Amino acid sequence: MYTSPVPLRRPAAFYLTLSSPVRVLPESPRWLLSRNRLDRCSKVLENIAAKNGRKVPESLQETLQAIVATQRSETNYGAVQLFKYRVMAIRTLLLTACL
């Protein structure tokens, strides 16, 4: 058992080092779009464009809405799809066993 607080400082320093950029970096516009947060996504894109010295097109909102509509119409695949067919189930189990 540890009797000194010194060993506890290393994990704490590691955690603080890894968690500090979280407050500084903005969310990814792609992630914001996938969560249907169009206003926040457009603000992040405007911020990125301003830092790069560019202007955001005026049709940004329409473009973002079209992207979200396209994403909704696409089929999403989950873990169940891996076991839908016998061959896929065997391959999935073999790959899982090898890992």
Q: Residue 90 is part of which domain span?
A: 6-98
Is pLDDT of 1 > 60? Answer: no
Does pTM surpass 0.85? no
Place of tokens 């990125």: 48
Domain-located, residue 34: yes
pLDDT digits (tens, 9 = 90+) for 7-64: 666 777 777 777 777 667 788 999 999 899 999 999 999 999 999 999 999 999 999 9
pLDDT at residue 22 in the model? 67
Q: Is residue 15 part of a domain?
A: yes
For residue 88, pLDDT over 70 is answered with yes
Q: Give me the sign of the Cα torsion angle 80, 64, 33, 17.
A: positive
What is residue 72's three-state secondary structure? helix
What are the distances in angstroms from CA 40 to CA 19, 27, 48, 61, 95?
Answer: 22, 9, 12, 11, 39
Q: Where are the beta strands (DSSP E) in 1-99?
A: none
Local structure of 65: helix, strand or coil: helix
Q: How many domains does the chain have?
A: 1
